[in-house]
Each structure stands twice: as C-alpha cells, then as structure tokens.
Amino acid sequence: VDDIIPALKLSYNHLPYHLQQLFSYCAMFPKGYRFEKEQLIRMWIALGFVMDERKKLEDAGSDNFDDLVDRSFFQKDEQHFIVHDLMHDVAQEVSVHECLLVDGSDSLKVFTSIRHVGIWTESVGDQRVA
C-alpha cells in the first residue's frame, strides 16, 4: 500500500487544477461514503468550484464529474458513487490544509488554513443515525 499512494498522488498531480480542487473536496466525506452525482455537483456549485461561462453550471459540473469517473477517481457503486479507500487517502493527504473531517475516531490536528469542516456521526444525542 505504501508504494501505491505515491503513484495515485502522481495521477492527482497530473489533473488540471479545477479537477484537483473538485476531487480534494471529497476528503470531507468519510471512507466508504456513497454519494449521488447530482448531490456532489450541487455542493461544488454552491462552493463556487464550478465555473464555465459557455454552459450551465450543472452541465459543466457533470462534465467534470464524468472526467473524474473516467480517470477512476470515482467508482460507480450500484446507483451511487464512491471514492476508493486509497483514493480517499490521497484526497485527505492533498487537502489536509483546507479540509477537516471530524468523525469521532481521530485525534484532531487543525491547521489555521482549514476552510471546510465536515462532521460525521452515527448518533445524535441518544439516537442512532441510520
């Protein structure tokens, strides 16, 4: 595994900058998180990550998403998509200064440059979240 991460990071480094930004945002999700294409595109648009004066933002976001699928950064999982565990490690490594995922299992190392925080829990109060 230690030999694979540098190779995967190299493929990330060869992405155009806008695709790097879109992919690294996925570090906000926990490993194994399944998401819908449209859901992620709406998040990207809301954050101002998708810009294209020639087409609708949804269409530009869809093109970017499909490009990341074609490059195997996202994998189709039944009706959803998922970031492979090793690719998720790459996303977390490259976004460590911008994104912070709080999932209750790690000790926190918070950089002053953090811009995005994701909080994931399996329970709220005494209730278990499904």
Q: Is the pLDDT of residue 65 over 90?
A: yes
Q: Is the pLDDT of residue 99 over 90?
A: no
CATH number at residue 91: 1.10.10.10
Domains identified in the chain, total number:
1
- Kindly state whether residue 24 falls inside one of the protein's structural domains: yes
H-helix or E-strand spanning residue 19: helix 17-24
Q: Is 56 exposed, middle or buried (0-12, 13-18, 19+ CB in 10 A)?
A: exposed
* HEC-encoded secondary structure of 25-69: HHHHCCCCCCECHHHHHHHHHHCCCCCCCCCCHHHHHHHHHHHHH
- Whole domain around residue 28: which residue ranges? 4-96
- Kindly state whether residue 122 falls inside one of the protein's structural domains: no
- Kindly state whether residue 130 falls inside one of the protein's structural domains: no
pLDDT 10s digits, 19-31:
999 999 998 888 8
What pLDDT, on a 0 to 100 scale, did the predictor assign at position 28? 84
- Kindly state whether residue 68 falls inside one of the protein's structural domains: yes
- Kindly state whether residue 57 falls inside one of the protein's structural domains: yes
- Kindly state whether residue 126 falls inside one of the protein's structural domains: no
What pLDDT, on a 0 to 100 scale, did the predictor assign at position 5? 86
Q: And the tokens for 102?
A: 């709080």
Full-model pTM: 0.76
- Kindly state whether residue 82 falls inside one of the protein's structural domains: yes
- Over range 25-51, report the average pLDDT: 93
